[in-house]
Structure formats: structure tokens, C-alpha cells
Amino acid sequence: MSLLDRVRTCQRWDPDAYRPFIVAGRPMGRVRHAFAHRLDDFPKVFEVGEAAVSLASGLTDFESRTAAVHEILLSLREAGEVPIWRDEAYPIARRWDEDPLMTMERGAVPLFGLRAFGVHLHGLTEVEGVPHIWVAKRSMSKPTAPGKLDHMVAGGQPHGLDIFDNVIKECAEEAAVPPELARQARPAGLVSYVCERPEGLRDDVCFVFDLVLPADFEPRNDDGEVEDFYLWTIEKAKSVVADSDAFKFNCALCLVDLFLRRGYVTPDDPDYHAIAHGLRLVD
Amino acid sequence: MSLLDRVRTCQRWDPDAYRPFIVAGRPMGRVRHAFAHRLDDFPKVFEVGEAAVSLASGLTDFESRTAAVHEILLSLREAGEVPIWRDEAYPIARRWDEDPLMTMERGAVPLFGLRAFGVHLHGLTEVEGVPHIWVAKRSMSKPTAPGKLDHMVAGGQPHGLDIFDNVIKECAEEAAVPPELARQARPAGLVSYVCERPEGLRDDVCFVFDLVLPADFEPRNDDGEVEDFYLWTIEKAKSVVADSDAFKFNCALCLVDLFLRRGYVTPDDPDYHAIAHGLRLVD
């Protein structure tokens, strides 16, 4: 196993299993053929064709699209066909800087292969001059990736919240980082990927942040989403990422990005080229 | 003007003006149609078709390819058709970790649109706690981009030299950085691009390094390639990159990568997505 394996995991999906999901004339996501057939039960909202599924052309604005789809998702949920329900509205857009075309319940977003955004924060510190990173163990009650290793702080990016405000909110909720400390987080780029996961097709952009913590800071979880925190050398985190799938798939990708940015992978590594070019999809 | 303009500059070329250049059955570069016609004068070495130019199939190994092409380049040079001649052998490979199929005189590489590799080093320091970067002004006698702003240290990656050894060598030649200091350079990823330049089609991978320098270090140029050095705040370098084309095109791209990695661009910048996805070509 290798760091590149973790990158490849985030690129694994079968294009033949999907057809485009079109909103306002734009390909915004991808639906499995079986799910497309199911959506054919709702012809007022979904125009299902062999080549694509489109949101009904009569739904011409943000509010009507959001409301019409939400109503159907509620009935699919009732039928047990939206197994994860978060009660969080996600913006439907290909880029964060675009005006979203609608919002959708977070749990349904992967069923439509729609792009989602998230924030991932590396909690970094030094112990006797050696760079360390805080690692979280996800609670067994998390709907996705229970028990997997995670960043100190990470979270989905809901509609209507500024990215940096979300970082500060998640810092408080997940690791009891006081706002004045959380505000020192520095953006460090993004990773992006499309891959199949148990919950559906993930087409995500993760905004990456580095936060350098004082040596005496210890994260503490208040929202029940984290079971434990560990303070590891970055070298140890690198070994675990390379040699196992103990980290949640997209956290592993953000960590590979950190290792690349901070010189823990070197150009003489035969995977360097493929790793660097695998962290972001051209879009 | 904006940082994104600098990224776009590194993506500007006209695919219709070129046909593939094939070596050992693999598309390795791209030649302009007019240059393809010229290569038709050397049918023992180049098989020129409408769809592609291939290196003659009889040239089956590294040595024979290298020697046959070199002989033709010497006669083209004689005719004034290889205006830049560096007497440096570049490896012909799509990735640094591959065994090169041949080598080629550096000055001719952009005429064949072949991939080239380089090292770009950011010389970083702090002045009273404020992050600064050393900027070089290229000598007016440089064959490419004379007088443009540059990294403290940057150079092409010749055949047969380890990347990190090249960094140390260029550090000594370009900025009189002693080897023990140069060895502290940390790899920080890469940028890649295809774009048209006066010298031809550049299809480059630049390995990026950060070197944190002591506050009392001052670069000094010994090989005549640098006219002057300036110590700027990173904010000033960012303004100059965003507002002008004073930096050599690919140095600007490496600097944009630095600004992204170190939080000088933030996710609320409407260009964030496009910048992050424009630093590396998928390949």
C-alpha cells in the first residue's frame, strides 16, 4: 500500500453506471441508472431519459427547485430510500463562488452525484521541535465512516455559511478550539475528487486549512462526533495513511496534500508526479 | 489583472497549430505544422504524416534516437532554425520517474513541444516577524525572459542529475547559497502547464521547493544570470504577480502556488477554485 493508493481510492467510480443529472440545462451531478428509473415515478419533477435525468424545466428558480425536490426526498426517505438524513441544506453548485441553483438535503446529495463542499483542518503542533498532528477517531455513531480516523476538525459546508465561519464553528464543536485560536487557521488550498462510496457518488471539493496550535492545547470533543484524539508525529500519520485505510478516504487525501506541501514526499518518489496530479480534478 | 490571469497565461496555446510528435509509439510532444514540413527534409529520422510526426521506427533505442536527432539539430542550428542553444541534454520523458526515451538539446525541446522539468526555489525569510521572499531580476543576457523577475533560484533539470542535487547546484551558482543551507530546502509539490512562448511550446513540470533562510543571509549571484536581488514582503510579491507580468511566466505560476499553500489567497476569493485547479494539468 502507498500514498498513491489513497489518491486512487478517491478516483474510483464507474462512469457507465451513471447518467448525467441536469439542472437548469447544466450537468450538475450523476445518477445511477436504477435511481433514474425510480425518479421516473415523479414525472412532474424529474424528466427521465435514457441519456440523462433533468430537473423539470418548469422549475425555473432556486425556491421552486428546492421545494419540489425536497418534497420527493421526504417521500423517498419515508420509503427508506434516503438512508442518511442530516437535516442540513447543501448548496447545489459546481463551484463555491457560483450562485447555487437550489439546495438539497445533505444526505441525498451523493444519490444525485452532486458536488459538495467541505472544510478540513490540520491541527499541527511541535513537540520538542518535532512536527506533530492531532488525529481524531470518529465516533461509531457517525452516519458515514464510523470509527475511521479523521482530521482534528472537518465538516461539510452548508448553504448560507461563510467558509471561514464554518471552520470556526466546527473548531468549537468538534475540538473545543476557542474562536481566537481558530481564527489563526490558514487556508492552504483544496483537494477535489469523484468516487463511489457506500452513500453514493461523492463529487467533492475540500477546502484545506492548517492551524498551528500551542504545545499545551489539547482538543476536546463536545458534540459526540469524536471518540478520541491522538497526537502523532507527521511521520507516523504518513505511515498510517500509506499502509492502511484507517483514515476516512477524503481525510487521507487531504493528508497526502499536507505531506506534499510540507516536504514529507520528495520528487525522487516514483509516485510524486501521480500524487501531485491526483489531488485535484480538473473541472 | 489578477492571479488567475497569471495561471491562464500558462494554459494558452492553440491545439490546431500542432500535430503530435511520436517517439517509440508514444505521443511525447507536439510540433507546429510548418516545423513538421521542415522535418520532412530528413526522412531517415522523421516520418512526417498529416496526423503526426514520428521518430523513424528504425531508431529503437536511447542512443540511436539521441544521436540521429542531435545530428539534425546541429544542421538546423547551422541554418539558424534553432535560435537558442544551451549545450544541455534534457531527458525526453513524460514523467521524471520514467526512463527517458532519449535526450535532446535543451534549446530544441520547445520546438518539439516535449516535456521539460525544472526546479523552482522560493527563498523565504522573516523580517521583524513579517514573511519575506527573495526575488531575482534575470540578467538581460538570458536567452529566455531577459530582465524578468524570477525566483531566488530556479533552473532546468538536465539528464542524469538528481533533482535535489540540481537544487543544491543551482543554489550555489545562482545565489551563492552554501550547500549546508541549500540542503534545508523542502520540496513543496509541483506545478505543470502547456503554453506557447517565443521559444516554442512549453510543456513543463516545475518541482517547487521552499527554503527558509536566516535573516542575515543575502543571495549573491556568481554565474552572471542574475542582475539583482530584492527582498520583498510576500504581500508585495503577490501584488506584483497579480498586477503585472513582471515575473517570468512560470515563476508567477510557482508563486501563485506558494500564495495558495500559505494562505495568501482565501476560499472567499471568487478565483480560488479556478486558481487551485489551474496549477497542475492532469496528465
Largest alpha-carbon pair distance within chain A?
Answer: 64
| Total Cβ atoms within 10 A of residue A20 | 16
CB A133 within 8 A of CB A120: no
pLDDT at position A283: 63
Residue numbers in A near B269 (CB within 8 A): 97
Q: Mind telling me how many Å the CA of B273 is from chain A's nearest CA?
A: 7
Contact between chains at A261 and B188 (C-beta distance less than 8 A): yes
Is the alpha carbon torsion for B14, B17, B23, B27 positive or negative?
positive
Residues in chain A: 283
For an interface test with B, which of A273, A280, A283 has the most B Cβ atoms less than 10 Å from its Cβ? Answer: A273
Contact between chains at A273 and B96 (C-beta distance less than 8 A): yes
Residues of B with CB under 8 A from a CB of A: 95-97, 162-164, 186-190, 192, 205, 207, 210, 260-263, 265-274, 276-277, 279-283
Nearest CA to A145 out of A4, A219, A246 is that of: A246
CB A3 within 8 A of CB A265: yes
Q: pLDDT tens digits, residue range A220-240? A: 998 888 999 999 999 999 999
Residue numbers in A near B263 (CB within 8 A): 186-188, 210
The β-bridge relationship of strands A226-233 and B186-197 is: unpaired
Residues B260/B262/A209/A126 CA torsion (nearest 10 deg): 160
CB A116 within 8 A of CB A109: yes
**Which positions of chain A have pLDDT values less than 70?**
283
Which residue type, as a one-letter code, is found at position A207? F
Rounded to two decimals, the ipTM of the complex is 0.93
**Which positions of chain B have pLDDT values less than 70?**
283
Instruction: Tell the burial category of A70 from Cβ atoms under 10 Å away from its Cβ (0-12, 13-18, 19+).
Output: middle
pLDDT at position B223: 83
Q: pLDDT tens digits, residue range A183-224? A: 999 999 999 999 999 999 999 999 999 999 999 999 999 888
Cβ-proximal residues to B122 (8 Å cutoff; 6+ apart), any chain: B133, B151, B152, B188, B208, B209, B210, B211, B254, B255, B258
Q: pLDDT tens digits, residue range B19-38? A: 999 999 999 999 999 999 99
Q: Is A168 helix (H, G, I), strand (E, B) or coil?
A: helix
For an interface test with A, which of B94, B208, B234, B273 has the most A Cβ atoms less than 10 Å from its Cβ? Answer: B273
- Separation of alpha carbons B212 and B259, rounded Å: 15
- Separation of alpha carbons B159 and A123, rounded Å: 40
A148 φ/ψ angles, rounded to the nearest 5 degrees:
-75, 160
Q: Mind telling me how many Å the CA of B77 is from chain A's nearest CA?
A: 33
**B36-49 as b/e, with b when 16 or more CB fall inside 10 Å?**
bebbeebeebbbbe
Q: Mind telling me how many Å the CA of B226 is from chain A's nearest CA?
A: 26
pLDDT at position B253: 98
Interface size A-B, in CB pairs within 8 Å, comes to 95
CB A163 within 8 A of CB A207: yes
pLDDT at position B65: 98
For an interface test with B, which of A261, A264, A268 has the most B Cβ atoms less than 10 Å from its Cβ? Answer: A261
pLDDT at position A142: 87
Please give the span between the terminal C-alpha atoms of chain A, in angstroms, as a whole number.
28
Write the secondary structure of chain B as one string of H (helix), E (strand) and C (coil). Answer: CCHHHHHHHCCCCCHHHEEEEEECCEEEEEEEHHHHHHHCCCCCCEEECCCCEEECCCCCCHHHHHHHHHHHHHHHHHCCCCCCCCCCEEEECCCCCCCCCEEEEHHHHHHHCCEEEEEEEEEEEEECCEEEEEEEEECCCCCCCCCCEEECEEEECCCCCCHHHHHHHHHHHHHCCCHHHHCCCEEEEEEEEEEEECCEEEEEEEEEEEEECCCCCCCCCCCCCEEEEEEEEHHHHHHHHHHCCCECHHHHHHHHHHHHHCCCCCCCCCCHHHHHHHCCCCC
